[in-house]
Amino acid sequence: PNGIRIWQPSLNAGTHHTDRYANTELTVRRGQAFTITLYFNRPQQAGESLAFVTEIGPAPSESHRTKAVFPLSQRGPSGWSAVQGPSESGYTNFTISSPANAVIGRYNLILQVTSGNKIFSRFLGQFVLLFNPWCPGDDVYMANENERQEYVLNENGIIFVGNAKYIEARGWYYGQFQDHILNICLTMLDLSLYYRQDPAIDVSRRGDPKYVAICTLSNIIRKWQGSFNSHENPSRWDGSMVILQKWRQDNYKPVQYGQCWVFAGVMCTVLRCLGIPTRLVSNFNSAHDVDRNLSIDKYYDSSGKSLNIGKDSTWDYHVWNESWFVRPDLGTSYNGWQVLDATPQEQSRGLFQCGPASVIAIKEGDVDLDYDTLFVYTEVNADCNRWIVYKDGSKKRVYCDTEIIGRFISTKAVDSNSRVDITYNYKYPEGSSEERRVYRKALTKIFGSNITEGHTESPAERSSETIRNPGISGKLKLAEPPVFGKDINLILILNNLSFDHKTVKVDVSASTILYTRRTVTEILKATTSVDLGSKQGKHIRLKIPYSYYGKYLTTDKRIQVTALCGVMNMHGPKLLVEKTITLEDTNIIIKIPRRVVVNKAVTLEISYANPLPEPVNRCVMLVTLMNQQVKIHLAQLAPRERSKIYFEFTPRRTGPLQLQVDFSCDKFSHVKGFVTIAVAPA
């Protein structure tokens, strides 16, 4: 027989939810039937029987489940089957079904004709098989259709950044269905260390979403700290597509420089593309506990300046992924959302990767479970210790109100751009009896059952008991919202907690910092003394002029202020008060018409501003729509001037469309705005 294949991509794509992939080859999901049509130049003869063969990987074998031979109308041990449908003038339909746990990736399909003791094989072509969240038998099955639309099919995302007091939304374009992305994702699996070690075994394990997620965690973006002069500043990125396509063009050499939200955005694109439901999660006040002792140690000099020593740190925010799949390795109670952290922080199993860690295991303090549950538990639960390092090298712990680690854990809502707080998924309410129970359980699993009594309280209680109160309390407050380009006005509120008169020496230090709270440059140092009468409170005003900080800010636009307060003539502990300030950018305002219709030109008004008390030059605006970017050179702006441009484009498809704007000049860069436009049918 002369088997001329006719795939039916459009017919299959609709039912398999693969109609948006840009690639033209047949792309289907596992555990669900698909149809092909074959043309035979003669009728089937008596004694002839047909079978199909599927093969995947470099060494297909039935024992590894990377090869299946299945005769018509028989479901063999492989779980693959084929049924012959109606024929018409030589054209015959066949319906092929794959098992719900089949290996994912690119398959060869072969037709086998047996006549007596002769077997003829005919290569029919290739197809791609993906995970199937619509199939109840699949490990990634998700019951809710709205959630499947969001976590598998939505190409537009929101990343929450900023700090716990000032959460900002930033647009991100995943683009998992666009040109070359599916091929890049499949290539990525073949570039993993596991594939290089044993290709046949590696491919045979790709039916397991947990394994595919671990392989994907292999870094594609290598460097993520340091100066960005010779490479891409990560603040420039607005989506995953450009990064993945650059990676492909550079022959899969790591793209230099990403930061946590970039890693997470790319990871989300890859996993959604392969069919694993995935979302981005932001954790505010995120702990990075290198020595795994559930406490973060931070160091300051005797004037209150933050020192970059010690490996522990607390980041203003950290972004990771959650993917949805079952955990047969842990037990059904740990099914559901699994944390995957693609930012290369700590080595796990010899590689820079973290996860998958079950969110339920994190909430229940099961820190001994695979993979890296302790690391993620600490990111949301660690305690904070502050130390003063004196000139002779000695260290002394200072009294400090413990900041709550792991706050406002956030993700994008299903069907909208609003923020959903999912902190309760990760931990019980602070101070509740459940929280104390889980904390004790976690400590026992880390340190064994002989932990000291002081270790058994919850973080907030522990830190306040272990070091004596210095008799004063303090707080730094902003007098008004801090705006980039304006002076920052702060108030240090000091209260005398006792009836004794006190004189308090206050050392103030302010430094520009990164979002990981790593100090960049000290910009202010001042000392003053304050008299506090019995039970008296006083307000001390502090000002950080723009002229002090303007030149030293990074694109993170962050300043950390510390006030080290010591009671004179008293050798007791000092009080450390600190505040991280994120300067607010002057908004980019995007105005869109009431109704936007597909294939009709639309004009937007985009307004932008110079918030500084000095003129700015070399103004450039990048406008990004899906994967297309337009660079617009703009005139210089006078001090505090706002200007606007009109931007025309024609949307080519209906549904939500994310437009991103990025404004830079010689004095600052990457001020961002975005809008999601609902494109209506004509």
Give the separation between CA 269 and CA 304, rounded to whole angstroms.
43
Active-site residue (options: 185, 215, 260, 619):
260
**How many CB atoms neighbour CB 433 within 10 A?**
10
Give the separation between CA 222 and CA 387, rounded to whole angstroms.
32
What DSSP letter does each residue of 38-87 carry, written as one string? EE-SSPPPTTEEEEEEEE-SSS--TTTTSEEEEEBT---TTS-EEEEEEE
Per the annotation, the verdict on 341 as an active-site residue is: yes
Q: Is 531 annotated as a binding residue?
A: no
Give the separation between CA 619 and CA 141, rounded to whole angstroms.
48
Do 49 and 205 touch, CB atoms closer than 8 A? no
Do 490 and 510 touch, CB atoms closer than 8 A? no
Supply φ then ψ for residue 621, to 5 degrees. Answer: -120, 130
The string over 199-221, giving b where at least 16 C-beta atoms fall within 10 Å of a residue's C-beta and e elsewhere, is eeebbbbbbbbbbbbbbbbbbbb
Active-site residue (options: 341, 366, 507, 556):
341
Task: Give the residue ranges of DSSP H helices in 109-208.
Answer: 145-148, 181-190, 193-197, 199-204
Active-site residue (options: 312, 318, 366, 372):
318
- For 232, 255, 574, 587, 644, the CA distances from 224, given in Å and listed in that order, are 10, 10, 36, 28, 34
Do 188 and 196 touch, CB atoms closer than 8 A? no
Give the separation between CA 1 and CA 504, rounded to whole angstroms.
96
- Check residue 327 and report its DSSP letter: -
Q: Which of 110, 101, 108 is nearest to 132 (CA)?
A: 101
Give the separation between CA 539 and CA 598, rounded to whole angstroms.
58
Q: Is 383 annotated as a binding residue?
A: yes
Give the separation between CA 318 and CA 284, rounded to whole angstroms.
7
Q: Is 487 annotated as a binding residue?
A: no
Give the tokens for residue 295. Answer: 């406490």
Give the separation between CA 532 and CA 494, rounded to whole angstroms.
8
Q: How many CA atoms lie within 13 A of 126 on its CB side?
A: 11
Sheet holding 575-582, edge to edge: 519-532, 502-513, 558-567, 575-582
Question: Which burial class, exposed, middle or buried, applies to 374 when counting CB atoms under 10 A from its CB (0-12, 13-18, 19+)?
Answer: buried
What DSSP letter does each residue of 189-247 carry, written as one string? HHTSHHHHH-HHHHHHTTT-HHHHHHHHTS-SB---SS--SSS--GGG--BHHHHHHHH
**How many CB atoms neighbour CB 674 within 10 A?**
21
The rounded radius of gyration (Å) of the Cα atoms in the chain is 30
DSSP E strand stretches across 413-518:
419-421, 472-478, 488-496, 502-513
- The CA-based diameter of the chain, rounded to the nearest angstrom, is 109
For residue 229, give every residue at least 6 positions away whose Cβ sits within 8 Å of its Cβ, in sequence order, or none. none
Q: Is 430 annotated as a binding residue?
A: yes
Instruction: Calculate ∠ Cα 77-82-84, nearest 5°.
Output: 150
Q: Which residue ranges are tagged as binding site for Ca(2+)?
A: 381, 383, 430, 435
Active site residue ranges: 260, 318, 341
* Residues of each annotated binding site: 381, 383, 430, 435
